Homo-oligomer: A and B are copies of this chain.
Amino acid sequence: MLSPLLERLIEDLQVLPGVGRKSAQRMALQLLEKRRADAVKLSETLAAAVEKMGRCEGCRTLSETPLCPVCESPRRDKSSICVVETPAEMLAVEQGTDYRGGYFVLLGRLSPLDGIGPEQLGLDLLEKRLAAGECQELILATNPTVEGEATAQFIAQMAQPHQVATSRIAYGVPVGGDLDFVDGGTLSHAFSSRQQLAN
């Protein structure tokens, strides 16, 4: 027997990824018991974010301004573009590597059965950026899935006439991983992509 509003808050908190009934309950009670000021702030920020966040006109990532901070920054190297599937993956590259060029976020991957073609991925926008001539290197960092590979292949072909150096990031055994625990697909990929050692 819960107060209806508390029940609704617990329900609504469960839209958060990885949050089930039990965690939602703990969150709701903690917010209301101990952190009301923070709860108000969170509610306001969330409303503002949903209202103001749109797409960056340069790279299609989430942004509240027409151009995102990366596209706008004069310190980013405009001569390379890294293509990723989602804003989350853009963040992963940004936080995990020392890459300091530009990005292009597809917001999906080619999947004709689901009606996702080149237009849905904004590839006309990407082609315009390639045609503008500033970009000299295109790094394809789509996921190593069937659709991700197909998307990378498609973009590579699209880039050919524009004479940019196109590369795909390496897929293989994770650093620090144990061969014993790596799945067969990854291992066979790592074998077929083996690199000659200088000697």
Contacts and interface: CB of A to CB of B under 8 A. Distances in A.
B1 A87 contact: no
A112 B29 CA distance: 25
Given A18-B23, A38-B12, A70-B1, A50 B43 contact: yes
Nearest to A88: B29
A107 to B, nearest CB: 8
A3 B64 CA distance: 7
Interface in A106-163: 107
A15 B39 contact: yes
A64 B5 contact: yes
How many identical subunits does the complex contain?
2
A49 B15 contact: no
Contacts of A49: 5-6, 8-9, 28, 31-32, 39
A30 interface: yes
Given A16-B16, A40-B46, 5 more contacts: A5-B45, A9-B46, A15-B35, A15-B41, A43-B50
Interface of A: 1-6, 8-9, 12-13, 15-18, 23, 25-33, 35-36, 38-50, 52-53, 62-65, 68-70, 73, 86-88, 91, 94, 107
